[in-house]
Homo-oligomer: A and B are copies of this chain.
Amino acid sequence: MEQQGMPLSKVGINGLIARIANNTALKHRASVLGFNDDASAVLDGSKYRLLTNVLFLEGIHFDLIYHPLKHLGYKAVVAAISDIIAMNGCAEQVSVSVGLGQRMTLESVDALMDGMLVACKRYSVDLVDFRPVPSFTGLSIAVAMQGTVNRKNKVSRNGGKPSDLLCVSGDLGSALMGLHLLEREKRVLKSNDLTEPDFGINNDYVLERQLKPEAKTDVVETLKAMNLLPSAMINVKNGLASALWDLCRASRTGCRVHENKIPLHQGTLKAAHEMNFNPLIAALNGGDDYELLFTLPLSEHERITDEFPENIRAIGYLTAPELSCRMMNCNGEEIEIREIGGEKS
């Protein structure tokens, strides 16, 4: 059915979500909306039950040319766990539906599900349901992940206040550089008759970040051990820029980030150099990093910079909303952070 009307690109992903969110009216007092968060929630006595719903589609979220099925299964589960972790929760149960195209065999389903089960084991999650359906349109993976968080420990995107410190875990942009390497070798293999891709020396890090990312349970545990409860937190899945904008929009703040504080891995810098790509752009607009961006009261600054492990970095602070999302670049100029992306979720 050919549809007439406004292209979705004119509304944008945030506009589309806001439009639907505005039309909902809750009937159950325990329901907590997830439209502006990494998961929805249901209040249940002293805790919240969290739910996220991740859809991975062939051609958009993965390419079976270079995403091995076992890694892909692992990644789909990790992506959903990351949403639960970003609510400061603990992932517990996962229900998986898969649309299986003609090319899938018993062995390929085994590989996909092996990857999921390895991730489940690694993160102590129970695979409680598996629903295969046929597909005419390639592989589709729908992951419904449940978790819990104590009522007083739940962290949303909307709790940030001006002057709160902005912190980020791990490093950014690496998964995108891994993707670019994979895409490059796919093109080379297509145009030549080579049968082995050449990923260059020491590019394992960025490839692994793209193909087999991990959920940042260690970061959440570090914060817990330091008795620090973030005022706001978000799963960085579509690049730092979109995470900053989403967190600031939900918290009704702006932010100021220092370019030279944005964590970039040596492997990312090397791969970016090799491919003539700006690593800062990868950090801002790349996807699939699954790092955590969170905010803490300014009073904790000293303690944080002294006591934080290497995998957590303060990159800036929240500001008044009218100051927008801005970055102090390495030349001392303040520039607006553009929100692109939002094409993936």
Interface residues of A (CB under 8 A from B): 1-8, 10-11, 13, 16-17, 19-21, 23-28, 30-35, 39-42, 44-45, 49, 51-55, 57-61, 64-65, 92-93, 95-100, 103-110, 113-114, 117, 120-121, 124-138, 140, 142, 144, 146, 343-345
Asked whether A95 and B55 contact (CB < 8 A) given A105-B8, A130-B17, A130-B21, the answer is no
Q: Is the CB of B4 within 8 A of A105?
A: yes
- How far in angstroms is the closest Cβ of chain B from A190? 14
Given A31-B126, A59-B136; 20 other pairs, CB 8 A cutoff: A1-B64, A1-B103, A3-B105, A5-B105, A16-B109, A23-B113, A24-B120, A24-B128, A34-B128, A39-B129, A41-B128, A44-B44, A45-B45, A51-B146, A53-B95, A53-B131, A55-B97, A97-B142, A97-B345, A134-B344
* Distance between Cα atoms of A140 and B219 in the complex (Å): 34
- Measured in the bound complex, the distance between the Cα atoms of B39 and A146 in whole Å is 13
Whether the pair A133, B60 counts as a contact (CB closer than 8 A) is: yes
Given contacts A93-B42, A126-B27, contact A6 B105 (CB under 8 A): yes
Structural contact, A107 and B3, CB atoms closer than 8 A: yes
Cβ contact of A144, chosen from B95, B136, B345, cutoff 8 A: B95
Q: Do residues A345 and B57 form an inter-chain contact, with CB atoms below 8 A?
A: no
Q: Whole-angstrom distance from the CB of A93 to the nearest CB of chain B?
A: 5
Residues in B whose Cβ lies below 8 Å from that of A133:
55, 57, 60-61, 344-345
- Chain B nearest CB: distance from A135 CB in Å? 5
Contacts of A125 in B (CB 8 A): 27
Q: Which of A20, A57, A127 has the most CB of B within 10 A?
A: A20
Contacts of A345 in B (CB 8 A): 97, 131-133
Q: Which 5 interchain pairs have the tightest Cβ spacing?
A: A137-B137, A5-B105, A5-B107, A142-B142, A34-B129
The distance from the CB of A125 to the nearest CB of chain B, in whole angstroms, is 8
Number of copies: 2
A99→B31 contact, CB < 8 A:
no
Q: Which of A6, A33, A60, A133 has the largest count of B CB atoms less than 10 A from its CB?
A: A133
Report if A128-B8 is in contact (Cβ < 8 Å); known contacts: A104-B3, A343-B134. Answer: no
CA distance A243 to B344 in the complex (A): 38
Q: List 6 A-B contacts (CB under 8 A).
A: A5-B106, A17-B132, A35-B128, A51-B128, A55-B98, A55-B140
- Known contacts being A53-B144, A93-B28, is A106 close to B42, with CB within 8 Å? no
The chain B residue sitting closest to A114, CB to CB, is B23
Distance of A48 from chain B, by nearest CB (Å): 12
